[in-house]
């Protein structure tokens, strides 16, 4: 049992009450046991790692986009063959944009009633820890306190604005395909600005610019207020999978992520772990699997998924319900190299949690990232009391004095959903130049 007692070292924390001192992710252990047999990383496709072309596409044309479209002479155009979704690419972008545009902004009260209240908070905690980890590295490198420039790619409604404020950055570029989400983001930023304006002695907040665009198709740099701006960090949270609709889109998005990063800067994010998704589908011998919290429907042969355009629907209790695409991680890494991005970290959420649990325990409490079990003072549980908390029960029985003990946990169903995600981080490396002016990266 690798469950964690959060009690050690918390005695002197003034804002942590007794109840919250014994947080533990119990369901995580349960899930780990269930998925011990993870198939090999590169099991998505029989094709060799060196060949990143969609299956059965032969020689591919040079990409001939002009103007603001992603342009890169080394991009090759994939034929619309069986490995790439047959749907019009434009229409998927529209479905995604329409979906996010129509999502209503829910207040805190409304969110607290959601079945996914703790799961969302837990994911928010993961993002906070990841962003903070890399902002700290950037500050360590900078030494002279020079301004920090960040691009929040696919920023949505600006759920990470507070994280950027806490990280004391100086300028933020927010891009997203859904203009309505960007409007929410703008008004959140204005509220934040107003609040700060009323706090006496508070420092000024970072500046922001907004770009409404499809990051998988448009070269974003040309839309920056200052296209010569160098970035320290590009963050793409829960969104990179949209680009794996096609090779061309994945390359465009990576180009956007890497193009303005300074050498030594980082590209970080969170995505679904395709390997894990496939393992679950294959274990169930079905294209459809999930539980009461999440459902996945895969629209391709799970025994022979294509490298690009492997479309699935991911439904997370009212949070996401639109087409997404598997990201074959070795392909992601290989494509990233082309843009000078070197993989430095990849962790599933469980391992990331393990790494950050001590450093982030106070934040975890503040963010209500775990549910209290047994329910405190008549509160009701978000999960099924009979099914979702058996590991919390077991933990209390085997590892604590029992009576009057409370633990923090995610319900088993929520953990099953959360454990399909992973975090990644790439570093932009220095380059030399070829005689034709193209950059050469030694990775
Ligand atoms: C799950 S939300 C994540 C939002 C935000 N990053 C967060 O962590 O709260 C995914 C976001 O990606 C955006 N998105 C999807 N496809 C996109 C594309 N091709 N270009 C730009 N944004 C896109 C959606 O509009 C949505 O806001």
pLDDT, tens digit (0-9, with 9 covering 90-100), for 152-181: 999 999 999 999 999 999 999 999 999 999
Q: Is 48 a domain residue? A: no
Q: Which of 257, 260, 185, 272 has its CA nearest to residue 215?
A: 257
What pTM does this model have? 0.82
pLDDT tens across 43-82, in order?
A: 444 334 333 443 333 332 222 223 345 654 333 333 333 3
- Position with higher pLDDT, 104 vs 20: 104
Name every residue whose Cβ is closer than 8 Å to that of residue 440 and which is 6 or more positions away in sequence: 431, 432, 433, 434
Is the residue at 89 inside a domain? no
Nearest CA to ligand 1 atom 26: 156
Residue 137 lies in a domain: yes
- Cα(100) to ligand 1 centroid in Å equals 8
Instruction: Determine, yes or no, domain membership for 359.
Output: no
Pocket test for ligand 1, best of 68, 95, 100 (most atoms within 8 A of CB): 100
Please state, in angstroms and rounded to a whole number, the distance separating the CA atoms of residues 120 and 114: 9
The number of distinct structural domains making up the chain is 1
pLDDT score for 201:
64
Burial of 282 from C-beta contacts in 10 A (0-12 / 13-18 / 19+): middle
Q: Which residue has the tokens 């405190």?
A: 376
Token pair for 435: 């005689």
Residues 83-93, mean pLDDT to the nearest whole number? 52
- Asked whether residue 305 is assigned to any structural domain, the reply reads yes
Q: Domain for residue 325, yes or no? A: yes
* CA 244–ligand 1 middle distance (angstroms): 14
Tokens of 9: 């070292």
The predicted structure's pLDDT at residue 400:
79
Q: How confident is the model at residue 395 (pLDDT cuts 50, 70, 90)?
A: confident
pLDDT confidence band for 31 (50 / 70 / 90) = very low
**46 has binding-site annotation:** no
260 annotated to bind ligand: no
Kindly report the CATH number assigned to the domain that includes residue 189: 3.40.50.150
Pairing of the two strands 76-77 and 61-62? antiparallel
Task: Calculate mean pLDDT across residues 390-408.
Answer: 82
Domain enclosing residue 267, as ranges: 64-79+94-354
Residue 57 forms part of a structural domain: no
pLDDT score, position 394: 85
Is there a domain that residue 20 lies in? no
């Amino acid at each position: 049992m690798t469950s964690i007692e959060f009690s050690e070292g918390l005695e002197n924390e003034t804002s942590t009450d007794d109840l919250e001192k014994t947080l533990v992710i119990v369901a995580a252990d349960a899930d780990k046991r269930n998925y011990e047999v993870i198939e090999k990383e590169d099991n998505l496709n029989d094709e060799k790692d060196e060949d990143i072309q969609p299956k059965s596409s032969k020689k591919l044309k040079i990409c001939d986009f002009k103007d603001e479209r992603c342009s890169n002479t080394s991009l090759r155009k994939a034929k619309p063959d069986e490995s790439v979704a047959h749907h019009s690419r434009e229409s998927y972008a529209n479905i995604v944009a329409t979906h996010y545009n129509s999502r209503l902004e829910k207040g805190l009260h409304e969110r607290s009633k959601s079945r996914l209240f703790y799961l969302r908070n837990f994911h928010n905690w993961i993002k906070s820890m990841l962003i903070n980890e890399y902002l700290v590295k950037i500050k360590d490198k900078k030494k002279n306190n020079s301004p920090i420039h960040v691009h929040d790619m696919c920023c949505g409604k600006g759920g990470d604005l507070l994280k950027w404020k806490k990280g004391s950055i100086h300028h933020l570029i927010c891009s997203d395909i859904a203009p309505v989400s960007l409007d929410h983001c703008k008004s959140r930023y204005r509220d934040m600005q107003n609040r700060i304006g009323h706090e006496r002695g508070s420092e000024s907040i970072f500046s922001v610019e907004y770009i409404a665009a499809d990051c998988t198709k448009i070269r974003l740099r040309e839309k920056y207020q200052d296209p010569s701006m160098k970035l320290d960090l590009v963050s793409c949270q829960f969104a990179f999978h949209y680009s794996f609709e096609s090779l061309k889109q994945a390359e465009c998005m990576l180009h956007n992520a890497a193009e303005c990063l300074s050498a030594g800067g980082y590209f970080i994010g969170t995505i679904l772990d395709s390997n894990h998704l496939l393992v679950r589908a294959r274990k169930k011998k079905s294209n459809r699997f999930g539980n009461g919290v999440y459902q996945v429907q895969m629209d391709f042969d799970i025994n022979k998924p294509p490298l690009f355009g492997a479309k699935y629907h991911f439904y997370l209790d009212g949070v996401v319900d639109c087409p997404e695409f598997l990201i074959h991680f070795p392909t992601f890494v290989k494509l990233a190299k082309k843009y000078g991005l070197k993989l430095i970290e990849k962790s599933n959420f469980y391992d990331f949690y393990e790494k950050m649990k001590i450093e982030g325990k106070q934040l975890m409490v503040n963010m209500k990232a775990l549910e209290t079990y047994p329910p405190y003072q008549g509160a009701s549980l978000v999960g099924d009391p009979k099914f979702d908390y058996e590991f919390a029960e077991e933990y209390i029985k085997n590892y604590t004095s029992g009576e009057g003990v409370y633990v923090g946990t995610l319900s088993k169903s929520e953990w099953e959903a959360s454990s399909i995600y992973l975090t990644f981080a790439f570093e932009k490396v220095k380059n030399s130049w070829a005689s034709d002016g193209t950059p050469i990266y030694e990775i």
